[in-house]
């Protein structure tokens, strides 16, 4: 590893300005980068939710940039905090994950994680390394360092308190545990979304109280999900997963409201500031082209360039030209399949609503009927209006935009 030199101004700007919400205190962060030794970068991870999406990638890219300067990432596997649940989420009671589940989830997580972050400069540690040994006395000592008043200032708590909505005692513990993690690993910088600000600051304060150099707090903007409004999150169903197929990843990006494209470029790519301004100002077809390029770039990062190009071509073909995709999944029919009435030499007579359920196009016959009534079902491009139909083998059945299958004869 080359000796750590201070970053040049350009790199420093990229790290501290681009896709950053707040660095506290900023001057000190710059100073620490000049110290010439690897900083310990801290990032937490909730092992009950091992699926990474683009919202996480914003932070991971930042970590990567710093790793490339020689700094070291310490990933905290939050096997204890996961049981509490972060207050910023909906307050659902969590069940305790078994050690095996945690481990399996952690592995899944790492597989995705290292698509962005450098594994050679990453160390994963489990909270149970220190909390496993914690005694009640330790807990009391820890809690005694803060007041309820401080915690009630946290936005989320303040709001709920004002609205007379519940705040669980354990929720108070969450920031404390997270803060103690920083002490345990002697973190130099902790990263999180802007919603994490409070927790990160508690860590900073606790370190100071315990005689350590307080960590820098580094927050990043929250990436909106595919609805363009709410934060990207698995529970909200508006996420683009790192492991989505190229087709889905591209499609989901195309389904983003136009208004957030610029932000996506800003938080997820290295596009120059000039380019960002262009994107913000683009109108008409150019806007769409920017969106397609974004899709390609992101698909390429998590898959390959070839797949990215293919995803774009496929999208244009299927959704713009309204043609059948290059590869249509097949569905084999036989008399065993509900909805198939009789098989003839070259065609089959079918009960369409029932067949569509068998094919997975709809969850119930009622739903299928509605689809047919709403003119959403086509066979080889021709609108299907009757429930009883004769369909030639090899026909392409399409329901809406997304569902498409070729019928073949199977055993």
Which positions touch RNA (CB under 7 A)? 161, 164-168, 226-228, 237-238, 247-248, 250-252, 254-259, 283-285, 287-288, 291, 315, 319-320, 353-354, 357, 363-367, 369-371, 374-376, 399-403
Dihedral Cα 13, 17, 19, 24, nearest 10 deg = 120
Residue 80 CB, shortest distance to RNA, in Å, is 21
Nearer to RNA, 51 or 72 (CB): 51
Nearer to RNA, 2 or 285 (CB): 285
Q: What whole-number distance in Å separates Cα of residue 242 and Cα of residue 249?
A: 8
Residue 294 CB, shortest distance to RNA, in Å, is 10
Nearer to RNA, 61 or 405 (CB): 405
DSSP state of 121: G
Task: For residue 218, give the H/E element and its range.
Answer: strand 216-220
Nearer to RNA, 98 or 284 (CB): 284
Residue 89 CB, shortest distance to RNA, in Å, is 13
Contact 247, 308 (CB under 8 A): no
Residues 6 or more apart in contact with residue 93 via CB below 8 angstroms? 85
Calculate the CA 356 to chain-centre distance: 32
**Vertex 227 angle, CA 222 and 228, to 5°:** 50
Residue 162 CB, shortest distance to RNA, in Å, is 9
Nearer to RNA, 50 or 251 (CB): 251
Token couple for 44:
């937490």
Residue 375 CB, shortest distance to RNA, in Å, is 5
Residue 83 CB, shortest distance to RNA, in Å, is 16
Calculate the CA 369 to chain-centre distance: 35
**Phi, psi torsion values for 399, nearest 5 degrees:** -120, 115
Detail the DSSP E strand segments found in 2-98.
22-24, 40-45, 72-77
Token couple for 329:
């999944």
Nearer to RNA, 209 or 322 (CB): 322
DSSP state of 320: I
Token couple for 137:
């006395």
Residue 244 CB, shortest distance to RNA, in Å, is 9
Nearest to 406 by CA among 394, 390, 391, 388: 394
Residue 233 CB, shortest distance to RNA, in Å, is 13
Detail the DSSP E strand segments found in 78-150.
122-126
Detail the DSSP E strand segments found in 105-168.
122-126
Residue 393 CB, shortest distance to RNA, in Å, is 24
Nearer to RNA, 14 or 254 (CB): 254
Nearer to RNA, 35 or 316 (CB): 316
Contact 171, 158 (CB under 8 A): no
Radius of gyration of the chain (CA): 26
Nearest to 64 by CA among 113, 126, 3, 23: 113
Nearer to RNA, 180 or 264 (CB): 264
Residue 95 CB, shortest distance to RNA, in Å, is 14
Nearer to RNA, 45 or 239 (CB): 239
């Amino acid at each position: 590893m080359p000796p750590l030199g201070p970053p040049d101004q350009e790199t420093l700007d990229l790290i501290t300005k681009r896709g950053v919400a707040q660095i506290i205190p900023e001057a000190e962060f710059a100073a620490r980068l000049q110290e010439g030794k690897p900083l310990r970068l801290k990032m937490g991870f909730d092992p009950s939710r091992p699926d990474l999406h683009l919202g996480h990638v914003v932070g991971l890219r930042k970590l990567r940039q710093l790793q490339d300067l020689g700094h070291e990432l310490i990933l905290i596997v939050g096997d204890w905090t996961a049981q509490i649940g972060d207050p910023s989420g909906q307050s659902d009671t969590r069940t305790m994950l078994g050690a095996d589940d945690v481990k399996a989830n952690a592995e899944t997580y790492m597989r995705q994680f290292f698509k962005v972050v450098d594994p050679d400069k990453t160390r994963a540690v489990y909270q149970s390394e220190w909390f496993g040994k914690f005694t009640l006395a330790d807990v009391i000592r820890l809690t005694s360092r803060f007041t309820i008043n401080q915690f009630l200032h946290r936005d989320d708590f303040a709001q709920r308190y004002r609205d007379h909505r519940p705040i669980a005692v354990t929720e108070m513990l969450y920031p404390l545990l997270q803060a103690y993690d920083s002490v345990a690993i002697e973190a130099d910088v902790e990263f999180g979304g802007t919603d994490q600000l409070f927790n990160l600051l508690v860590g900073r304060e606790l370190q100071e109280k315990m005689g350590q150099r307080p960590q820098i707090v580094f927050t990043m903007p929250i990436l909106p999900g595919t609805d363009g409004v709410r934060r990207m999150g698995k529970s909200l169903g508006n996420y683009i997963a790192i492991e989505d197929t190229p087709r889905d990843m591209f499609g989901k990006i195309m389904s983003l409201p136009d208004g957030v494209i610029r932000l996506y470029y800003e938080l997820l790519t290295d596009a120059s500031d000039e380019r960002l301004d262009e994107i913000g100002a683009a109108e008409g077809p150019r806007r769409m082209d920017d969106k397609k390029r974004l899709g390609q770039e992101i698909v390429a990062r998590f898959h390959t360039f070839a797949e990215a190009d293919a995803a774009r071509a496929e999208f244009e073909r299927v959704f713009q030209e309204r043609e059948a995709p290059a590869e249509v999944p097949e569905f084999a029919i036989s008399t065993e399949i509900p909805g198939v009435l009789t098989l003839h030499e070259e065609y089959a007579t079918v009960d369409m609503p029932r067949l569509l359920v068998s094919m997975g196009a709809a969850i119930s016959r009622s739903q299928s009927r509605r689809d047919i009534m709403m003119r959403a079902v086509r066979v080889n491009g021709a609108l299907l209006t009757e429930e009883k139909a004769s369909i030639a083998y090899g026909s392409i059945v399409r329901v809406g935009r997304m569902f498409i299958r070729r019928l073949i004869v199977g055993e």
